[in-house]
């Protein structure tokens, strides 16, 4: 007799807040960043719109992906990050990641995504970063 796997995890959420420095936006992700969890929480258009800039942040614009509370992600989550990176590049916005778990770091390294943007140990380290690469 087959046993069903019980999916026990926190609900996926994205919270968008302003950083300390003008032009800095923090995207605080919580829960598994997977297709199942993303689309159970948000519609595809709502998810896409969350990452769209409200305004042009100017030359010093910085987007921080706070992944502190993301235990793991799948290819859909990774795809959202890469898509956001491409949009940021087109607008001259720097993208950094903060608080990345070892499991997510492994995914970034395996797929070579870790080469695209700097990683910081904490959001506080990343917020107000003046263009220096502080990989952790």
pTM of the model: 0.82
Q: What is the pLDDT of residues 14-28, one digit of tens each?
A: 999 999 988 899 999
| Residue 6 pLDDT | 45
Average pLDDT, the chain: 84
| Residue 113 pLDDT | 94
| Residue 136 pLDDT | 43
Burial class (CB in 10 A: 0-12, 13-18, 19+), 20: exposed
| Residue 58 pLDDT | 62
Helix (H) or strand (E) holding 13: strand 13-18
| Residue 85 pLDDT | 94
**pLDDT of residue 102 exceeding 50:** yes
Which is it for strands 13-18 and 24-30: parallel, antiparallel or unpaired? Answer: antiparallel
Q: What is the pLDDT of residues 17-70, one digit of tens each?
A: 999 988 899 999 999 999 888 878 777 777 777 777 666 556 679 999 999 999
Structure tokens at 96: 């950094």
The share of the chain scoring above pLDDT 90, in percent, equals: 57
């Amino acid at each position: 007799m087959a046993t069903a796997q019980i999916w026990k995890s926190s609900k996926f959420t994205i919270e968008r807040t302003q950083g300390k420095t003008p032009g800095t936006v923090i995207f605080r992700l919580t829960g598994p960043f997977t297709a199942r969890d993303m689309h159970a929480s948000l519609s595809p258009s709502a998810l896409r719109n969350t990452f769209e800039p409200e305004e042009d942040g100017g030359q010093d614009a910085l987007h921080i992906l706070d992944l502190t509370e993301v235990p793991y992600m799948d290819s859909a989550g990774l795809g959202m990050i890469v898509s956001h990176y491409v949009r940021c590049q087109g607008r001259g916005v720097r993208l950094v990641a903060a608080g990345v778990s070892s499991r997510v770091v492994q995914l970034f390294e395996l797929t070579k995504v870790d080469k695209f943007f700097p990683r910081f140990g904490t959001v506080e380290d990343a917020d107000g970063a003046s263009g220096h690469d502080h990989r952790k």
